[in-house]
Structure 1
Amino acid sequence: MSNVSTNTGIARWLGIAAILIILDQITKIAITSTFVYGEAMPVTPFFNLVLVYNKGAAFSFLASETGWQRHFFTVIGIGASAFIIYLLKKNQGQRLLSWALTLILGGAIGNVIDRILYGHVIDFLDVYIGNWHWPAFNIADSAICIGAVLFVYDELKRSKKPASGT
């Protein structure tokens, strides 16, 4: 009976990650079908939709390298995803931690799919103030960031709890 509830619990988190991956990929397909590379459409005084490609990692880290980074970040993304699935299976009863891991997992896989299919990550969300633009990002990046914040919050929350038995 324990294995049934364990499998159902992990399936729920993997299902949420799958929905996130689908949402990420649909938005990327919509943007690439609507925009040409570099095209921007103002939405608000601080937000544009724009089609850009990121061959690097977060904030275009290593984007100007010769191409080896595509394979490097793909392997890291796959390895991180496998480790996150292990952590989800091990900690699925911890709701906040599971949400954090699920968001990071969905985002990581969404960006790995881009690297495998296109050799770069498709970014399209452009937030700015005046002439200063935050690096463009996507749904997967947003999920990773939200998941990371939840992860840190969960860790801080747990570290403040007194140890049991003392």
Structure 2
Amino acid sequence: MFIYYGIALLIVAADQWTKWLVLKQMELGERIPVMEPYLAWLSHRNRGAAWGMLEGKMWLFAIITIAVIIGILYYFHKHAKGQPLFQLSLMIILGGAVGNFIDRMFRGEVVDFVDVLIPVINYDFPIFNVADAALTVGVVLMIIFVIYDEKQEKKKVS
């Protein structure tokens, strides 16, 4: 069980360390090409949620994040025992949620820095960070778990 909390802690540490590097080494708006034009580091701040929605509503994010953290911990301890993929997905989501929560509470904004252009559709993806990536990976893993679990339940019934 503690290994899963370690994964969440590692995500928070990586998230906060990379954001600290961006804050210390880059000017706001500075862009450093990594694999031009598809990937770059871009120092950006977000005072809202995904894609800048609900900008300036820090009280709302605090309430939602605290509720999400409580829900994750409840499901981890009450429903995820013996289900490693479910446990992993919950802790990855926890790490991402806490990483961005720290930014919102202590900086009043989230530090974003990964700028991706998806060439096939020529889409400039919203700028994100390690916590955002963890949230996405955690949700994808949870969807995989739910699909797999439903298939297992159907096999038991048949």
Structure 2 counterpart of 1:164: 156
1:62 deviation in Å?
1.8
In 2: Cα distance, 1:82 partner to 1:144 partner: 16
* Structure 2 counterpart of 1:61: 53
Partner of 2:115: 126
Amino acid at match of 1:60: G
Q: Which runs of 5+ in 2 are unaligned?
A: none
The question of whether the paired residues in 2 share the 8 Å contact of 1:84 and 1:101 is answered with yes
Unmatched tracts of structure 1, length 5 or more: 1-8
**Separation in 1 of the partners of 2:67 and 2:40?**
33
**8 Å Cα contact 1:78/1:109 also seen in 2:** no
Aligned length: 153
Distance 1:129 1:150, change over 3 A: closer
Q: Deviations over 1:32-71 (max 9, x none)?
A: 10111111111102001011111111122222xxx2x111
**What is the CA distance between 1:19 and its match in structure 2?**
1.1
| Identical-pair percentage | 36
CA distance in 2, matches of 1:82, 1:108: 11
Taking structure 2 as the reference length, what is the TM-score of the superposition? 0.91
What CA RMSD, in Å, does the superposition of the two structures yield over aligned residues?
1.5
